[in-house]
Structure 1
Amino acid sequence: MPQPCHVVVLISGAGGNLQALLDSLDTTHPARIQAVISNRADAYGLQRAQAAGIATRVLAHTDFDGREAFDAALIEQIDAFTPDLVVLAGFMRILTPAFVRHYRGRLLNIHPSLLPRHKGLHTHQRALEAGDTEHGCSVHFVTEELDGGPLVVQAVIPVQVDETATDLAQRVHEQEHRIYPLAVRWFAEGRLRLTPQGVMLDGQPLPATGHLIRT
C-alpha cells in the first residue's frame, strides 16, 4: 500500500468545505486529514473536526504583531503535522509571500467565482451586477498573486433569471462541495501536480481554465 497523503486544513468559519472533504474520505481514499487549524476559536469547523476525531489547533492572528509574525507561527503549527498538502477551506487571511513560497505546489484554495473573473469578495453579487450568464467556483494552487494561482478545476453553472446573490451563493456552495474533494483526491493519488510547465493531471498539462465541469 502506498503511504497516505497527509493533509492539514485551515479554516476561519463554519467549515462547509471541510465537512465535504471529511465526507469524501472513504476507505479507498489516500488522503488523511492530520489537523484542522483555525485563526478563530469560535469557528464551527473546529467542532466538525473534533466530531471526526481530528486534531484541532487555534492560532489567533490578533495575538501577533503583523502578518509576518502570524504566518511564521502558523508554519510551525502546520509543519508539526508534516503535511503533504495544505488546504485552505474558508481561511480568511491574506497569506504572506514567505508562507506561500514555503508551501508552493502543495497549497490549494477554493474561490467562489470562475477565476480570473471576480477575484476578492462579494463574488456572487458582482457576477449578477456584471450580467454574467455563467458563474461558479474554482480550485487553484496558491501563489503570491491573490486568487491568481494556476487553476485545477472549475465548476460552471448557468445564472438563472431573477436569481438573488443568496440563491446563487447556495448553488455555488453545492458545486464547491463537489470539486474541492475531487481536487484533493487527485493530489492525494499523485495524479495532480504543479510543475514548472504548469498544472499537470495524469501527466498531461491542464488548460489555463483548469478542468471544467458544467452542470
Structure 2
Amino acid sequence: MLVTDKIYFTSTLIAGAGCSSDTFRAWRNRNGLFPETSGGKWNKFSIIDIFVAALVSDLTRTGMSAQFAVEASMKAAPLLEKLFDMPLTEHEVLWPTDMLSQIEQKLWPEKTNYAVLHFYRNRPSGQVQIELLSSQTAAENILRGKEISTIVNLRYLSRAVLSSMAIEDSELEIDGKRRVRAGHQKLNSHAVTRDQVRRLKAGD
C-alpha cells in the first residue's frame, strides 16, 4: 500500500486531524478542502489527506483564516506526497504508531535536521507560498524575509497525527473489506487531549 491510497474513513481523519466533524465539513463546503470528495457520502482518505487536514487544523489555531489554511495545506499536499513516499504494510496502516516508526526511520535516521514547511503570502500578489526547508535553514530564511509567516515541523506533525489516530478507533477499508481497529485503551480517555499527545510525542 501507498501513502496516497484512500483507505481511511472520515471518522479516522477527524481523529488524526484533531478537529470536529462540523469543522471538517465547513472546511470542505465553504473553503474547498478536498473538492474531489464533494457530494460523496462514504468518502475515504489517504494518510496524506489526513496530514493535510491536520495542517489546516494547526494553521487555523495560529490565527490564520480557514480559507488561507485550506489553500496553503492543499498546496503543500504534493510536497508531503513526495516526502512521505514509501510502501506501507497492512500492519502499519492498521497500527499508526508502527507507521510512525517507519516514517521516522526513513526521513530522520540521525534524528536531526528535521523537515519543516514554511507558509507565507507573497507580496504584492498575495498568493500563498510554501517552502520545504530543513530545521537548520528555516530560521535563516524566515528572518531574511519580510513576510508574515508560519512554520510547521513535519516530525512533530506526523507524531501528533499518528498518535491521535492510535488513541481512537480507526475505520478503514483494505482490499474491499471494512476494518475497525480498536484504539489504545490506556490512552483512550477524555483526560488525554491532543495537546498532551503533542507534548508527549515531542518529548516535552
Would you call these one fold, judging by a TM-score over 0.5?
no
TM-score normalised to structure 2 length: 0.27
Q: Greater strand share, 1 or 2?
A: 1
TM-score by length of 1: 0.26
Q: Larger helix proportion, structure 1 or 2?
A: 2
